[in-house]
Amino acid sequence: MTDRNRTDDRFDEALLASLSDSALPPEEAVRAANPSRRAARLVLIGLALCSVMWNIGWLPYLLPVVGHLCSLLGFRALSRENGWFRAAYGCAWVRAAYGWAWLILLNVPGGEEWADAYPWKAFVWLSAAALLFEVFSLGRGLSAVRHAAGLEAGVPASYGLLVWYAVIIAASVIFPDFTGGIPALIILLGSYLMILRALFRTVKEFEETEYAIRSAPVRVSDGPFAVLMLAVLLAGLVATGIAFARLPMDWLPDDGTRSADATSAASELEELGVPRAVLEDLTNEEILACRGASRAVVKVYENRSEDGGLLRFTNIGLRMSDEGEETTECYVILHFAWVETPRVCGTDCFHLWEYANGRVEVCSRGEVNGRLLCDRDGTRCTADYASLGRRMLFGGAMFPFFNTVSSEEGAEIVGEFSFDGRCGRMRGYVFYPLTVSEGWYVNEQYNYTHQASRLLYPRRTTAEMQRVSSAWMGDRTFWSSASALQFSP
């Protein structure tokens, strides 16, 4: 052996001797660096976040987003190990696509109703099938890894998880309205946690072996990948938020020209006390219908909205019949106008209660008509309501005191509409005839509900929000003001 070789050997021995045990990374750090540890646990965490819903604030929408991302990142790293993990990765993509589409659809007014459409139902069933096959593939993939690591093959807990999901899906189809109460919740949640605990133990067992799962090479690291997925979701939410922020309205110019007869009739009504500002908004036909009124009752109210607008209500009752008849013919004009423009222009709702006095034979209301008006770029414009008709808002078991005895029990007259940023002097009204029995008084009550915040998810119109959560009872996203016309004709 030459002197040079002896020198090299002594250098190697000295270098090894200088490395103490403290210089080596701890065993826990070496184990943590194993890609199987993080990836397999991400998959299990993702399944849990997509399965257990906490109905608190936005958690029902945020948790599935995190869950789908965890599942994709986990299976993305495991997909090179075996074909089962690759199949599960494909299923995770199907479920994530469904989850993203559902979250975007919730940002469209009435989007939840689209779930009854056949194409969406097919997507739902595809996602459910993908979930079951994903869980099955996860179990087979973990079993293959255990076998390669020298452990006993088979993961019984994965089949328990498969049965759990199958029972939940079957129950939702067979018993769609069944809740089961607290006992069922405890059983389902307890069994799910036990199954997850067993799966985490399975992952820990092969983590402690020397077997290392082959990590799939990726062109985009996990961080940018997650940001890209969130950007796609955010883009969809922003696009639908802009496109469906308001109801479609057909604004048309209207010069407000009056015929000679309508001008004469308007003067008579003004002498009775009807405000000129209201008369200027009525059509010629409506003014002529009120010609010959013998009495006018005018009630004016004002209320300030949550977003700084000032809304004025002008409620007018016109008596048309002579004294002494068994019934009295009247006309009712319920007029509203934003004296000070609110900061938010979203969706608004006019809700006329279907008979506040509770008896149809007392007051018989005729056909309800009306329109919206505003000034756009200095031009007076008008538009029909986006929708105006009967709709069930309240009544039934939850609100029995709102039930009516009309032909459509609980159906209220609801008008939906939207103003936009180009609108000035925003106003509108409803107009209808009313027949009142002798000895009874008029008691017409209504609510005006206004969207007072742009931050709204899931996105619903004011009428939809009233129907599902009674926004008029205190939701700060929406502001509601009640008004009434009460008089004895």
pLDDT for 214-243, tens place per residue? 666 778 888 899 999 999 999 999 999 888
The 8-class DSSP code of residue 444 comes to E
Please report which confidence band the pLDDT of residue 356 belongs to, taking 50, 70 and 90 as the band edges: very low
Q: Which is more confident, 438 or 227?
A: 227
What pLDDT was estimated at residue 399?
39
CA separation for the pair 415, 394 (Å, rounded)? 15
Residue 365 has pLDDT above 70, yes or no: yes
Question: Mean of the pLDDT values across residues 105-134?
Answer: 83
Q: What's the pLDDT at 293?
A: 92
305 pLDDT band, cuts 50/70/90, is very high
pTM of the model: 0.76
Confidence of residue 34 (pLDDT cuts 50, 70, 90): low
Mean pLDDT on 164-175: 87
365 vs 299, which has greater pLDDT?
299
Residue 6's beta-bridge partner residues? Answer: none
